[in-house]
Structure 1
Amino acid sequence: MTSVPATAVACVYEGVGKDIKIDEKHPVTQPQDLKAGEVLVKLEYSGVCHSDLHLWKGDFPFPLPFPLIGGHEGAGRIVAIGEGTDTSLKVGQPVGVKWVESTCMDVGCGFCSGGMDQHCLKAKMSGCMVDGTFRQYMASSAKYVTPIPENLPLEYAAPVLCAGVTSWGALKRSNTKPGDWVTISGAGGGLGHLAVQYALAIGLRVAAIDTGAEKRKLLESYGVDKFIDFRDYKDASEIIAAVKETCDGLGPHARPLASLTKPLLTEALQFLRPRGTLVAVALASNTKIEAELFGFIGKGLTIVGSYVGSRSDALEALDFVARGKVKPQVVVKPMREIQQVLETLEKGQVDGRLVLKLQD
């Protein structure tokens, strides 16, 4: 059996906006204390999501169980399995822990049995309802951890467990087919750059909205059909006109909302062609999508909410990366720099996805 320390390092949110505590001696669940159905994971990397920032800042409309370990994009290896656990998982196997840490998995639950387990009414969220992945060891549900392909480096797997599965899940629910147009705002960001790659991998045409020479270079290297620098236009109406012109003069078939830039959110539905789909993905408090009914009904538009992804979505999202069809752009930082990392994220000074290295 792999040796497991009694304590290890964890990053603890002690309250809204308070300095994050680096607990050097956080208790580690011991193998003999695991419940049936649990595995102990030695986490090596954890992605850092805007949701982690929002939770720390108190932007979500519900109270949090402080003190709380943040994080929900953890990747590591199983070091112990609870006695009596019915699983094909093995000690040493790489696995991931997602935003949805566990669900009821009851055959009588229409969500869990119907492939939409992320909507289970008994779901528990990592780094939100239960302690998350900004730590070195974590006990989690054997049925809900996600097997990671052996050939996939864990620093690249980590961001797929939220940003990747969220992007992929949104595209699956976008009512598109190969050859259709999608418009992705914030296309060079942590969520957007993955959404672009998944879209291209399944044959969609992409009009990418972002700004700057570096973002243009990155997105054009993926093969986007059009890069639209929003700073080249005076307002949202000019951007909409440029998008429509690019997309056959009609606008895109779908628009995943991976970024909540206010001017583009206000005009979100105006991008779309008739019968188009707006996929709401990114979260923020006190944010609304408004639909002018004559245009909404007359164009036959659809608004879809896409909440992270299911267990099968996560496996599919990882498979694209393992096969080299999608490559996360990651910036790896030591876990003890978590507060500086979140502050950098708040300032929007990140290209791609920030990932914490959890082991010394």
Structure 2
Amino acid sequence: MVPPQLPDTMLAVRVEEFHQPYSLRQIPTPSPSNLGPNDLLLKVGVASYCHTDSMVIEGEIAKHPQITASHEAAGTVLATGSSATDFPVGSRVMVGVPFHRCGSCAECQGSEEYKQYCTNGDYFGVTTDGGFAEYAIADAREACVLPDAVGFDTAAPLACAGCTVWRGVLRADLKEGQWLGIVGAGGGLGHLGVQFAKALGLKVVGIDAKDLALELARECGADVVVDARKGTKEVVEAVKGVTGGEGVEVAINVSGADEAAALSCAMTRVHGTVIQLAQPTEVKIPYPELIFRDIRIKGSLISTKQEAERMLQTVADHNVKVQTNFFFGLEEVPKLVDFVHAGKMAGKGIVVVDEEEQRRIKQAKH
């Protein structure tokens, strides 16, 4: 198929300097003729904002500025590289965050479970151009075709937030009917984790410290919801009260609060596991949890492509809902960021980039 005629320039939200607000710029549109063999040229439908984006703009994880922001995006394939044969033009896809992995390091050559840990490649929207643009280049080896039932507004936040907490739930390695605790259960990752866990047949204790977040965790299916503002002692008593006096088998921590990791350990039974997904500067855990109670701590990154494909099918099969806050057009990204910094955001902030998608969603909302 002949690639479509694209404009010479496109609108993009850029990280021009670290520690500075985003810039809205006209930049050159990616050309189909410049695609690598495994590249996809996408017309971006929806992109979303993630906590990691704030780390990028502060220079904590990015190699350099001068990139287009957002590592969570979904869109339509306009052109493909010579080896991207699984993605016909017109395919609806969710991007993968890894971009051009090296293919030769220990992670790339080892188990499929850890290939996303390659540190020699790039990461979409983190170290290379991302999704806050009208068009974007994605890596076909990491991208996933969307099930028909999953829209762009659902898929975009799943590209990182969904993949991260989905893998956390998988790493919990629990059987149907066992108890999983989620600290931060009403947040952007947490409310998805609750739904994923329920889809896999687990029992869920949701912990949070805001009224709206607690209500969202309850709406998403948490079997028990506990207010962290009551303090560690009361939270642990409440958790033990529903788990036969033992605590949860595994806890997932998606809260960056100083005391969240310690609370996750305290509510977990002896010899249990805590999976740390939140990324505070320091993860603070009292030594008795590690030594006297033998709590094991695991970190976890985003999903593999195969795990992400399973996640998307689970979303379709179980009608998993993403709590979204809509912003229409790239011009509204500064407004989105202001909402996040003001603490007004419940769930995920998403930017509907494509004008046709904007019209469709606005009509559906009315």
> TM-score, with normalisation over the residues of structure 1?
0.91
Q: Whole-Å Cα distance in 2 between the matches of residues 305 and 64 of structure 1?
A: 22
**Paired residue secondary structure (2:270):** coil
> Is residue 312 of structure 1 aligned with residue 303 of structure 2?
no
One of 338, 342, 348 as aligned partner of 2:337: 342
Match of 2:7 in 1: 5
1:15 aligned residue: 17
Report % sequence identity: 27
TM superposition shift of 1:107: 10
Distance 1:351 1:209 in 2: 15
Contact 1:53 1:346 in 2 (8 A): no
1:357 has 2:357 as partner: no
Q: Could you list the per-position Cα deviations for residues 276-333 of structure 1 after superposition, in whole angstroms to 9, with x for gaps in the alignment?
A: 1100111133x1243515x434433221111111111111111111223411111111
CA contact under 8 A between 1:14 and 1:21: conserved in structure 2?
Answer: yes
Separation in 1, partners of 2:77, 2:103: 21
What is the match of residue 71 of structure 1? 70
3-state secondary structure, aligned to 1:76: strand
Q: 1 or 2 for the larger relative contact order (CA 8 Å, sep ≥6)?
A: 1
Q: CA RMSD in A?
A: 2.1
C-alpha separation between the residues in 1 aligned to 2:344 and 2:308? Answer: 27
What's the CA shift for 1:188? 1.3
Q: Residue 302 of structure 1: which of 276, 296, 300 is its match? A: 296
Letter in 2 for 1:128: V
Q: Which residue of 2 aligns with 1:331?
A: 325
**Residue aligning to 2:51:** 50
Report if aligned partners of 2:177, 2:202 keep a CA contact under 8 Å in 1. yes
Q: Summarize the Cα distance change of 1:154–1:51 in structure 2 as closer, same or farther, 3 Å threshold.
A: same
* Gapped regions of structure 2 (runs ≥ 5): 356-366
Check conservation: 1:165, 1:314, Cα contact below 8 A.
Answer: yes
- Which residue number corresponds to residue 133 of structure 2? 135
Decide whether the 8 Å contact of 1:104 with 1:112 is kept in 2. Answer: no
Shift of the 98–66 alpha-carbon distance from structure 1 to 2, 3 Å rule, reads same
The corresponding residue for 1:28 is 29
Cα distance in 1 between the residues matched to 2:205 and 2:338: 30
**Residue-pair matches, total:** 352
Residue identity opposite 2:137 in structure 1: A
- In 2 relative to 1, CA 18–92 (structure 1 residues): closer, same or farther, beyond 3 Å? same
For residue 255 of structure 2, give the secondary structure of its aligned residue in structure 1. Answer: coil
For residues 135 and 75 of structure 2, the distance between their equivalents in structure 1, rounded to whole angstroms, comes to 9
Residue type at the aligned position of 2:352: K
* C-alpha distance in structure 2 between counterparts of 1:112 and 1:43, whole Å: 32
Tell me: CA distance 1:86–1:131, structure 2 relative to 1, closer, same or farther (3 Å).
closer
Q: Any idea what the Cα deviations from partners look like across 1:3-44, whole Å, max 9, x if unmatched?
A: 322111100112223121111x21111112222222211111
Residue in 2 aligned with 1:244? 240
Alpha-carbon distance, 1:53 to partner = 1.8
Tell me: CA distance 1:64–1:107, structure 2 relative to 1, closer, same or farther (3 Å): closer
Structure 1 residues 206, 135: CA separation in 2 closer, same or farther (over 3 Å shift)? same
Encode CA deviations 1:210-230: one digit per residue, 9 max, x unaligned: 245543443323331111122
Counterpart-to-counterpart distance in 2, 1:127 and 1:181 = 35
Where in structure 2 are the equivalents of 1:1-360 lying within 5 Å?
Answer: 1=2, 2-23=4-25, 25-58=26-59, 60=60, 62=61, 64-82=63-81, 84-105=82-103, 110=108, 114-231=112-229, 233=230, 235-285=231-281, 287-293=282-288, 295-334=289-328, 335-360=330-355
Letter in 2 for 1:221: E
**TM-aligned CA distance change 1:192 to 1:63, over 3 Å:** closer
Q: Distance in 2 between matches of 1:74 and 1:94?
A: 11
1:78–1:223 distance in 2 versus 1, CA, 3 Å: same
Shift of 1:96: 1.6
Q: What secondary structure does 2:213 align onto? A: helix
Q: Write the deviation string for residues 113-153 of structure 1: whole angstroms up to 9, x where unpaired.
A: 52321112323112221111111111222222222123311
**In 1, Cα distance between the equivalents of 2:302 and 2:274?**
16
Spell out, residue by residue over 1:236-265, the C-alpha distance to the aligned partner (whole angstroms, 9 max, x if none): 333223222232221111111111221223
- Find the aligned partners of 1:159 and 1:100 in 2 and give their Cα distance: 15
Q: Which moved more, 1:115-124 or 1:212-221?
A: 212-221
Give the partner amino acid of 1:208.
G
TM-superposition CA deviations, 1:91-119 (whole Å, max 9, x none): 00011223323323459855565232111
Partner letter of residue 54 of structure 1?
M
CA distance in 2, matches of 1:32, 1:63: 27
| 3-state secondary structure, aligned to 2:165 | helix
Does the aligned pair in 2 maintain the 1:187–1:209 contact within 8 Å? Answer: yes
Matches of 1:107 and 1:316, distance apart in 2: 26
